[in-house]
Amino acid sequence: MKTDFESLARKIGVEFTDLALLRMACTHRSFLNENKGTGLEHNERMEFLGDAVLELIVTSFLFKKYPHKAEGELTAFRSALVNTVSLTKVAEHIGLNDFILLSKGEAKDLGRARNIILANAVEAVIGAVYLDQGYNTAANFISEHLLNVIDIDEIVKNKTWIDAKSRFQEKAQEKVGITPSYKTLKETGPDHNKQFTLGVFLGDVQIATGTGASKQEAEQQAAEKALEIKKW
């Protein structure tokens, strides 16, 4: 973990007037629970602001880029650009993980929970940039670190803006005339922290399995794997 936020500001190409805003954007609530009396604020309010700024700038970008697309498609494209997966890629692009202030417990978790923290922190950084430097600088940051990193044309071409379960069903019906089915194979863990393993089937043939904290999450993972296995 680094606390040299000047180096982070240089990495993202923004010259902050108030560097404390960037530090706040990188401060997770769990860090303050372990470090009381620091006088710092966590990043949730900044995340709230950044989320709105991000949505407006991405919406404007898509509106201009696809003048003939309907509202529903544009909404789906926007979701693909601002979801956890895309924002985690932004975090990786700017090396944000090295600067997030976390509790010792949260710092050990490198799975999906960390990706959510990173995605939220990206939104908080956008909020900090907007507060310190205004709309145009925030738009430039989003253009450079999101819109130039995530290939929206590829997303549109391959229909990856459609969720994996829907894509697998569409392809299965098109290729083999079968609607996929999903079956729970295993449940593990206590009620408050269950893990579900589900299989996706074409007829009686199991194509892939997926695991998640909910059946819906496990189904999506199974469908993603099935698309890879079938090369669809």
> pLDDT per residue over 39-82, tens digit each?
889 999 999 999 999 999 999 999 999 999 999 889 989 988 99
- The pLDDT of residue 35: 83
Which tokens hold the place of 139?
């738009």
Active site residues: 51, 123
Which tokens hold the place of 96?
């944000």
> Which residue's structure tokens are 């999101």?
146
Calculate what percentage of the chain has a pLDDT beyond 90.
68
Give the CATH number of domain 5-158: 1.10.1520.10
Model confidence at 1: pLDDT above 60: no
Tell whether the torsion through CA atoms of 10, 13, 16 and 20 is positive or negative: negative
Domain chopping of the chain, boundaries: 5-158, 164-230
Q: DSSP 3-state assignment of 99? A: coil
Which tokens hold the place of 176?
């083999």
- The pLDDT of residue 21: 97
Q: Which tops the pLDDT comparison, 156 or 88? A: 88
The CA–CA distances, whole Å, from 98 to 3, 72, 87, 104, 162 equal: 9, 37, 16, 14, 32
Q: Which tops the pLDDT comparison, 229 or 170? A: 229
Report, as an integer, the average pLDDT of 113-123: 91
What's the full length of the chain, in residues? 232
Fold of the domain spanning 164-230 = Double Stranded RNA Binding Domain (3.30.160)
- The pLDDT of residue 12: 95
Q: Quote the pTM value.
A: 0.74
- The pLDDT of residue 157: 82
- The pLDDT of residue 87: 94
Q: Which tops the pLDDT comparison, 190 or 162? A: 190
Residue whose C-alpha is closest to residue 185's, from 164, 163, 206:
206
Confidence of residue 162 (pLDDT cuts 50, 70, 90): confident
| Cα 139 from Cα 107, distance rounded (Å) | 30
User: Exposure of 3 by Cβ count < 10 A (0-12 exposed, 13-18 middle, 19+ buried)?
Assistant: exposed
Q: Which tops the pLDDT comparison, 115 or 55? A: 55
Q: Is 102 in contact with 30 (CB distance < 8 Å)? A: yes
